[in-house]
Amino acid sequence: MSNPIVQISADASTLYTAAAEQFVARASDAIAARGRFVVALSGGNTPRPVYQLLAGDAYAARVDWSRVHIFFGDERCVPPDDARSNYHLVRETLLERVHIPASNIHRVRGEDDPFIAALAYEQELRALFRAEAVPALDLILLGMGDNGHTASLFPGAAALREPTRWVVAQYVEVVSMWRVTFTPPLINAARGITFLVEGAAKAEMLRRVLQGPYQPDVLPAQIIQPTHGQMHWLVDAAAAAKLEP
């Protein structure tokens, strides 16, 4: 793999604060440089406290939310009020608590046919960036599953080998569910990519992904290698316990 920046926090609370601080800094830089901040968020338990921090008094006023565009790196094919929906999570923890224009929230229509939803989401990206070239989102926030997956790029998934499309529908057998996901070409074009990983249960997988042999079909997180941007791994000490110095 390329050499990412690995930042180890003492505990989960410190990790959440580091992630919130990075979000605020990247938003400020992007808005100053280009007049907007385009970010793709992730679902799952790890980023939930980060979104809650961003919505709180200490952080919300530090972001010009009127200039923030929210996308989602992947989505479960369920309605938006389903508890499994990534949009549902982000809406409850962040979007309902900050002053962000509704037109700046770009959700995947998980209630639609997965292939139509994926096509529509790529078209939405094309409309915002007004370009045919792969766009460079300012930040893509990712997690890592205990099987090495990220976004909805699971081991052996056809989406891992997608060369041109930015968003695809993917049936994930291990969870018996359709997903819509960003593809490696889109993720790797981002200006910034940040993985959030916490807990001792992820320690061995984190070691394999960062320091083991390159096997992206087995360890999909390894395929995330930005073309030009920066990649950070924000991890807590428990998750980092098996990393070699």
Complete domains list, the chain, with CATH: 5-236 (3.40.50.1360)
pLDDT band for position 2 (cuts 50, 70, 90):
low
Mean pLDDT score, 124-150: 95
User: What's the confidence (pLDDT) of residue 30?
Assistant: 98
Rounded Cα–Cα distance for residues 41 and 55 (Å): 14
pLDDT of 3 > 90? The answer is no
- Summary mean pLDDT of the chain: 97
Helices (H), 1-147: 12-34, 48-55, 86-93, 114-129
Nearest alpha carbon to residue 214 among 223, 203, 205, 225: 223
pLDDT at 132 over 80: no
Spatial distance between the Cα atoms of 25 and 43, rounded to a whole number of angstroms: 21
* Predicted pLDDT of residue 35: 98
Confidence of residue 221 (pLDDT cuts 50, 70, 90): very high
pTM metric for this prediction? 0.97
Q: Is the pLDDT score of 1 beyond 80?
A: no
Q: What is the mean pLDDT of residues 134-146?
A: 97
Mean pLDDT of 56-68: 97
